[in-house]
């Protein structure tokens, strides 16, 4: 799994499956640079890190490259 090209959360993640952005290009950019870009990239996604640490759903407002730290995001869940 860790060597797969796609993030393991891809099928359930709103950033990937829904268009949560006003600008549709923004979602496509995140998908390309995180979700389907291989383990080295998607493993840095803060949504994925928080989800794996907590087992909780991460709000749609949290982006893969959120300026909040992982701890800050967790404290707001
Ligand atoms: S936004 Fe993050 S958690 Fe969601 S599918 Fe992309 S890499 Fe995975």
Query: What are the tens digits of pLDDT across the range 28-51?
Result: 899 999 999 999 999 999 999 999
Q: Can you tell me which atom of ligand 1 is nearest the CA of 31? A: 6
- Asked if residue 1 belongs to a domain, the reply is no
pLDDT at 3 over 70: no
Query: Is 56 a member of any domain?
Result: yes
11 within 8 A of 36, measured Cβ to Cβ: no
**Cα dihedral angle (68, 74, 76, 77), rounded to 10 degrees?**
130
Distance 43 CA to ligand 1 centre (A): 9
**Ligand 1 atom index nearest CA of 48:** 3
Would you say residue 4 lies in a domain? no
73 lines ligand 1 (CB under 6 A): no
Please report which confidence band the pLDDT of residue 18 belongs to, taking 50, 70 and 90 as the band edges. confident
Long-range contacts of 7-11 (CB under 8 A, 24+ apart): 7/34, 7/35, 7/36, 7/42, 7/45, 7/48, 8/48, 9/47, 9/48, 9/51, 10/35, 10/36
> Closest Cα to residue 70, out of 51, 9, 31?
51
Please tell me the predicted confidence (pLDDT) of residue 54.
98
CA of 76 to the centre of ligand 1 (A): 19
Residue ranges making up the domain that contains 40: 14-76
pLDDT digits (tens, 9 = 90+) for 48-66: 999 999 999 999 999 999 9
Domain count for the chain, please give it: 1
- Is the residue at 28 inside a domain? yes
Residue 2 maps to a domain: no
């Amino acid at each position: 799994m860790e060597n797969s090209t796609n993030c393991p959360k891809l099928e359930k993640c709103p950033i990937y499956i829904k268009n949560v952005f006003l600008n549709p290009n923004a979602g496509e950019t995140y998908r390309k640079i995180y979700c389907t870009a291989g383990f080295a990239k998607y493993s840095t996604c803060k949504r994925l890190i928080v989800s794996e640490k907590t087992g909780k759903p991460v709000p749609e407002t949290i982006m893969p490259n959120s300026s909040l730290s992982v701890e800050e995001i967790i404290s707001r869940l």
